[in-house]
Amino acid sequence: MENPFFEAWAAPFGAPPLDRIRPEHFPPAYERALAGHDAEIAAIASAPAGFESTIIGLEKSGRLLAKIEAVFSNLTSANTNDALQAIELEMAPRLSAHWSAIYLNADLFARIDVLYAKRESLGLDGEALRVLERYHLDFVRQGAMLQGTARARLDAVGQRLATLGTEFSQNVLADEQDFILPLDESRMGGLPGFARDAAAATARERGLDAPFAVTLSRSSVEPFLQFASDRALREQLFKAFVSRGGNANAHDNWAIIAETLSLRAERARLLGYKSYADYKLADSMAGTPAKARALLDQVWGPAKRRALEEAKDLAELIAEEGGNFKLAPWDWRYYAEKLREKRYDFNEAALKPYFALEHMIEAAFFTAGKLFGVSFAERHDIPVYHPDVRVWEVEREGKAIGLFYGDYFARPEKQGGAWMSSLRDQETLDGDIQPLIVNNCNFVKSDPALLSFDDARTLFHEFGHALHGLLSKVRFPRLSGTNVARDFVELPSQLYEHWLEEKQVLERFARHYRTNEPLPQPLLEKLLAARNFGQGFATVEFLASAFVDMDFHVLEQGAAINPAALEAASLARIGMPEEIAMRHASPHFSHVFSGEGYSAGYYSYMWSEVLDADGFGAFRPDPFDPVAARRLYENIYSAGGSREYAQAYRAFRGRDPEVKALLEGRGLETV
């Protein structure tokens, strides 16, 4: 059988032949790649210790495995099927065991340890020293210094956690795939034209007889929660949305959460830490759970006070309209939209025709061009895995620097949410390797696709991540692009969101999808005036998830674990308003349980927001100040993980960040 992984990739930029890669290609490719990587590691571990032979050897090893993993992870998240999911479940523990064997290879670590001990005398430049220090820390944090049975137990725990993370994400997707709610005209009351068009498109895509339908994609559910006058429909959709992964069916995730938390606590104790949160945050900007929680606590008080004020206002509006019921979570968005219209004389329905997807993509590209001198030219000769995927060639200073893939629409075989990934990371260790960066969103597909303002912000957010990968300019793969601390990685993405709200961006790109007329100045001014409307709600729903994540992971080994009870206790401790739900309830909290990426780290969005809110001050009064843009490029977007993160921020901003800017940015400073 011909296998694309065993041939040179002839597409432009050496892009993977995504149109030809099939599930059956992965098992033999993995077998060859794992065996080849094992042989490379054995050779490195038997060679004399040296920066070239050991660290550079590690950086250049496993190239075939990296290619396979990049393609496989993109497909299983964005275009999966039963065959891929079966391979995913089989390979998760095997890959964990493979990497564990590398990190626990005593001969290999001995060589890294020797180099680390004499690192100051090796004559290394800053980036080389940084990569040596990161490798040493990686190995220590993965158990290289453990002895005896602890090493074997750590390996077994890692394999089981890998399986649990895969099962968790597959269960969430299964619950989302199982739900499709057909609707007739009688249940569409209050829905504006763009929401009706999107619901009609969903019904057509799913081949339903009903004229309309809604799925559990956030971009499908939220317009109904925002506009549907049918309160029973809102309740039905809300409960289905928040219960994903927790429906006591074959896809239930509560037992997976309990076992995951127990194993993570055990893993942390094996590695010498009090809790998993202590382990995870030791290699972060926050440093400790106490410092992360201190930030959350600092924001929680003002946010909760504002949210309770908002709840009171919404309850009064319900009473004014003659409603004889208490404000519930499925009412919040509906009445908030009414209140916003009442206060600011506009609503989302008036805005949405001016936020066509195509215009917002152009706006993101324009902003990158103004700030960093990059340009984007769409290409149609790059292989893709689905017809929805589009590809652009990216240039800077007259030179191609990579490819950008945009996959913007929801579909049944795609995980929910929005994320950035890569098919290849930038490096110069083995030639000028240009990055292949992917953005995934889950907008409702319609013609044209119209975005809410929050959707447009999501697009800018993910594009900020994409730029972090595309603009990377480092030597070593280990330090490339987004390979940085979790509470630093959100800085480039959250900072980029600010430019969406800049008047010159909105005036140029917020244009009516039919007439191309710009957003009327009065409406633009109302939009900007209302930018902090509902920030109490938005901050509380986020912080609730961050508190629960942290409370889960400060548990010590041996603690009793009933995740549902622990979640309830965490929310009770902070006095969670009953009218607001967590942004991510635990059974579908994929950030935390589909893998270890944001585990004990969901707080990092708020930590990074301190940085981005403070950092955007460098662009006042000129949002495209060239001096600030150059510092931002040199110290943040292009630097990857090549320097210590607080140092990188100071080099950009000239000082340490202050939390005051975050509170002001969310309109909470006067509460």
The phi, psi pair for 343, rounded to 5°, reads -80, -40
Q: Is the dihedral of CA 103, 108, 112, 114 positive or negative?
A: positive
Measured CA to CA in angstroms, residue 30 lies from 26, 71, 292, 605 at distances of 6, 12, 39, 34
Q: Are strands 374-379 and 390-396 parallel, antiparallel or unpaired?
A: antiparallel
**Strand ranges across the sheet with 419-424:** 374-379, 390-396, 399-409, 436-443, 419-424
Q: Which residue has the tokens 């000028």?
A: 432
Cα 410 from Cα 180, distance rounded (Å) = 13
Provide the Cα torsion 625, 630, 635, 641; round to 10°.
110
Q: Which of 530, 581, 583, 534 is nearest to 309 (CA)?
A: 534
- Residues with Cβ within 8 Å of residue 527, at least 6 apart in sequence: 346, 351, 453, 506, 519
Count of other CB atoms within 10 angstroms of residue 620: 9
- Residues with Cβ within 8 Å of residue 65, at least 6 apart in sequence: 30, 33, 34, 36, 37
Annotated active-site residue 462? The verdict is: yes
Longest dimension (CA), the chain: 81
Asked if 301 contacts 311 with a C-beta cutoff of 8 angstroms, the reply is no
Q: What is the DSSP string of 429-486?
A: BTB-BPPEEEEEEEEPP-SS-B--HHHHHHHHHHHHHHHHHHS---S-GGGSTT-S-H
Q: Which of 164, 367, 137, 361 is nearest to 257 (CA)?
A: 164
Element at 536 (helix H, strand E)? helix 535-553
Asked if 171 contacts 253 with a C-beta cutoff of 8 angstroms, the reply is yes
Tell me the two tokens of residue 68: 């396979």
The phi, psi pair for 402, rounded to 5°, reads 160, -175
Q: What is the DSSP letter of 356?
A: B
* Cα 228 versus chain centre, distance: 29
DSSP-derived 3-state class of residue 165? helix
Cα 99 from Cα 108, distance rounded (Å) = 13
- Residues with Cβ within 8 Å of residue 619, at least 6 apart in sequence: 498, 625, 628, 629
Count of other CB atoms within 10 angstroms of residue 506: 23
Burial (0-12, 13-18, 19+ Cβ within 10 Å), 320: exposed
Measured CA to CA in angstroms, residue 282 lies from 318, 426, 436, 447, 565 at distances of 48, 27, 31, 48, 28
Q: Which residue has the tokens 């065996």?
A: 35
**Catalytic option among 462, 490, 579, 596:** 462
Asked if 408 contacts 373 with a C-beta cutoff of 8 angstroms, the reply is no
Asked if 404 contacts 394 with a C-beta cutoff of 8 angstroms, the reply is yes
The phi, psi pair for 216, rounded to 5°, reads -95, 15
Active site positions, annotated: 462
